[in-house]
Structure 1
């Protein structure tokens, strides 16, 4: 697992606590993680905006911008770090608020080094699972996942059509051609297909092609144009247009984005 570019940010206005956490984690990490510090919530927020932080460890009470304010400011961010909060025994109500705001765990002062490492390890495992889940979300098409040929409502003609499309995805398929293969009138087949799958034939074909294209983008180094051809598109331009309409980014950007995330979590 390559973790050298993953970052832990420690935020505490008490120098002794802040440096103590940093030193403990640097010894434990042995170069596997980057450990950074901030002595106030304002600098911490700036750092969080500058680049990816995977784990945030913050005191709940600090002057000007508290740890709670810092956590609240992350609301709505797409890629939030996992959060551990630090507090004194008399501040447990703040811990409860932090947990409601999304913190995954807490540490009470004075900190125990063994407990610190244990809690950090658990939080980083959770962060890694979140990363994998996010990646899976980008890879799978949920509408396709909902189409199950084994469901009771799926008739044989539509099952045959799904199987035929799977096997001939690289060809120039049309609704009329597939309808003819299963000996149905094209108009009737169109209605039947949407009724039993929940999507039109053309939408299904596009989604399946783009799903296959995503797999090829991740698993091979094939040029974009060749991938488009392999999933049934005659021109790069049209392939890119359909890909963007479903994924909101180009095939090359998708490949790069997924490659960047894979390098973080492998």
Structure 2
């Protein structure tokens, strides 16, 4: 099977669909030649409403392709993911696919909006629209709600996982093709008969035991599930120097298999897929099997029936999401309690038990945590950072920051940049 035919295969499409779902954004593979000419899409899925609208405008599709080609050429030259802003100001990522073939295939994922600066999405989109000659409008012509807000470093990790999964399929396809050759025939000589089609493994033949793990989680037997996960990750037959890398890839594939099996059984996997980018980051930084097992079990924890979970921790996790979702607006205990279906006293009890903080202190802590992220990942001024986390007085912001961190926001940023 040629590389082009392989990229058109159903198995590759399943990988792209899984990646697109995990990332919450479209994914596509193209070929880009040495002169910067892009061929037709070889595989992919999804398109956001904004991109579909832009593609219909004069010059829109060409501008999109030009942005993609420039990034693809750079990614091919450095052989690693390249993050770029398209002509509309939307963030995307390009990464070489199947480099072992010697052909210039590139996977592009996007658009997405970095979670660190969500307020810039509409502004950039309107600017890009005007640059294409579109009349100025008070708002974008189509909703931008299907452009996912995701942490910036997560998307390159997702893209790398995707091309690694495709590469493993390609290696398996090549090995199967070689083993299918008669031993007395010259290498590479085609035998008669119908061409063999590449098929993705069915649920019953998956080597990851996804259905068994999903069933263990559904029954609340986390000990059995953890044992199966640990065993599944350890079943890697490769050289010692590549073993950790291979186990990381296997952990991701195993987790995907479990989520798919859970879906077939009618379980709700939405929360796990939403957390998939963060899971990939954890896998990338895993230093041992114990780290991988911990990351997998954390992602799969929503599959355990609520009565089996730690109610205390689950309430706090829901509380974190609810409060962060309200920033930078004012956060009221009564409103949050009503949203979570809890009594305000119950929430304050959980906070005191876990952190020893009152609700107002807890909210202040989350605001400072968000501010630290903005100080690390953006060049926003201190006053702007304060505003974006809901503290309108810069001096008060500095006072609160120093109270929690022991240094000023300026000192924190400088410390982070110098790596001290």
Higher relative contact order (CA 8 A, sep 6+): 1
TM-score, normalised to structure 2, is 0.25
TM-score, normalised to structure 1, is 0.38
